[in-house]
Amino acid sequence: MLTINDFNFKNEKVLIRVDFNVPLDAHFNISDDSRMRATIPTIQKILNDGGSCILMSHLGRPKEGTADKFSLRHIVDRLKELTNTVVHFAPDCIGDEALSLSANLKNGEILLLENLRFYKEEEKGDLAFAQKLANLGTFYVNDAFGTAHRAHASTSIIARFFNGKKCFGYVMANEIANAKKVLDNPQRPFTAIVGGAKVSDKLLIIENLMQIADTIIVGGGMAYTFAKAMGGAIGSSLCEDDRMPLTLELIEKAKAKGVKLLLPEDSKIANKFANDAETSFCNNDVIPDGFMGLDIGPKAIAAFTKEIEASQTVLWNGPMGVFEMSNFENGTKSVANSVASVTQKGGFSLIGGGDSAAAIYQFGLADKVSYVSTGGGALLEYFEGKILPGIQAINDEQAEA
Ligand code: AMP
């Protein structure tokens, strides 16, 4: 895996695909700049080598052409503060002005390009658009793991114009190394915890993890589809009836492979989807009509805790309940605590792919686990066993057109 540590960037104009898709408030102030801060070491390495950086990113989901609320100009000042150097801004990511700003860029300086998604060609992976971007630089670095599962112009197609002159930035390299640690060579026992609302979103990941994990723990809303498929009464809990046969297949596959598939035995149930609902506890196969399971119950917590704490490697994707409501956060919090505890005892833990990362921050445990991925959908697809276009584009030498 080639990273920026394998190159010297003196006199190179390095096009870096970054993820500066930061949240902006109503006054265009950045409410969380962690994605920007994460990329600073990559930028600094290139500037310190005596090169310059041309940064490209998307921001939000602009529908049609340009829109000021999605302009990356709002982040220029913050970028100057974080990098302590000259930052130029190209109000169009391609075209004559961008070309001339790039030509005049001095070593040690940064050029930030306007939002790539102002062009529909970006998400379409348009080759001519990718070439126009490529013309701005002499070297390509991908440091945007969050979009690595997309074959967009700036994340994948562009790489074919930089054979021998392309690599991963530190953010990408770190994400890949941590995911590989779990997928390729996990210390055993390896427990994968999968939760969240919908089983349909997680079927592929469960199937793929069955090839690797010793134990798979299933929690959250998706567990009720399993419970109903096995003949249980689940009241008005979340359920995807059309997926019930697939859940039974998963149970059979796990048995055949000798993988322990742990489902929650009980739930905290509620008479409405609200924090002030009337609640009680019951087993997952006898949830009364008019009640829904919104969190795993004490028996499930005890069983999951025991299993997690006996593991050497833990992958966690998806909450155990509606953790956004304080009355239904306990299951997710207990799992988070167990994951932190096993890490403190020397195990390896990787958290990511959406809401479990949010949960680990909510409970203040982010620095007590081994790695919290920034990847969302990209991490999920990686664990589904898919080849990510953003990774493949760097690893493969490709024909130019
Ligand atoms: P996902 O994006 O699929 O990982 O799902 C995360 C969402 O699932 C969170 O917003 C949780 O509130 C929700 N969730 C987890 N457990 C349940 C449940 N038992 N009932 C309804 N929603 C749930």
Q: Residue-wise pLDDT tens for the chain (401 aa)?
A: 999 999 999 999 999 999 999 999 999 999 989 899 999 999 999 999 999 999 999 999 998 888 999 999 999 999 999 999 999 999 999 999 999 999 999 999 999 999 999 999 999 999 999 999 999 999 999 999 999 999 999 999 999 999 999 999 999 999 999 999 999 989 999 999 999 999 998 999 999 999 999 999 999 999 999 999 999 999 999 999 999 999 999 999 999 999 999 999 999 999 999 999 999 999 999 999 999 999 999 999 999 999 999 999 999 999 999 999 999 999 999 999 999 999 999 999 999 876 888 899 999 999 999 999 988 889 999 999 999 999 999 998 765 54
294 CB near ligand 1 (under 6 Å): yes
Atom of ligand 1 at shortest distance to CA of 323? 12
Q: What pTM, to 2 d.p., does this model score?
A: 0.90
Cα of 324 from ligand 1 centre, angstroms = 9
Q: How far apart are CA 215 and CA 192, in angstroms?
A: 6
Q: How far apart are CA 16 and CA 43, in angstroms?
A: 8
pLDDT score recorded for residue 290: 97
Q: How far apart are CA 170 and CA 43, in angstroms?
A: 9
DSSP bridge partners of 351: 316, 372
Q: How far apart are CA 67 and CA 328, in angstroms?
A: 39
Tell me how far apart the terminal alpha carbons of the chain are, to the nearest angstrom.
Answer: 24
With a CB cutoff of 8 Å and minimum separation 6, the contacts of 156 are: 125, 150, 389, 390, 392, 393
Contact 268, 328 (CB under 8 A): yes
Given the structure tokens 């969302």, which residue do they identify?
376
Q: If residue 339 lies in a helix (H) or strand (E), which one and from where to where? A: helix 330-344
219 is catalytic: no
Q: Nearest to residue 226, comparing CAs of 205, 241, 212, 211?
A: 241
To test ligand 1's pocket by mutation, which of 322, 326, 373 has the most ligand atoms within 8 angstroms of CB? 322
Q: How far apart are CA 210 and CA 21, in angstroms?
A: 33
Given the structure tokens 């562009």, which residue do they identify?
158
220 CB near ligand 1 (under 6 Å): yes
Which tokens is 279 given? 């609640």
Q: Please pick, among 51, 169, 297, 354, the residue that the annotation labels catalytic.
A: 354
336 CB near ligand 1 (under 6 Å): no
Contact 300, 267 (CB under 8 A): yes
The full set of domains in the chain, from first to last, is: 4-175+389-400 (3.40.50.1260), 188-346 (3.40.50.1260)
300 CB near ligand 1 (under 6 Å): no
pLDDT score recorded for residue 399: 53
pLDDT score recorded for residue 398: 62
Q: In Å, how far from its chain's centre is CA 117? A: 20
What b/e sequence results for 188-220 when a residue is b if at least 16 CB atoms lie within 10 Å of its CB, and e otherwise?
ebbbbbbbbbebebbbebbbbbbebbbbbbbbb
318 CB near ligand 1 (under 6 Å): yes
Q: Please pick, among 60, 376, 377, 385, the residue that the annotation labels catalytic.
A: 377
354 is catalytic: yes
198 is catalytic: yes
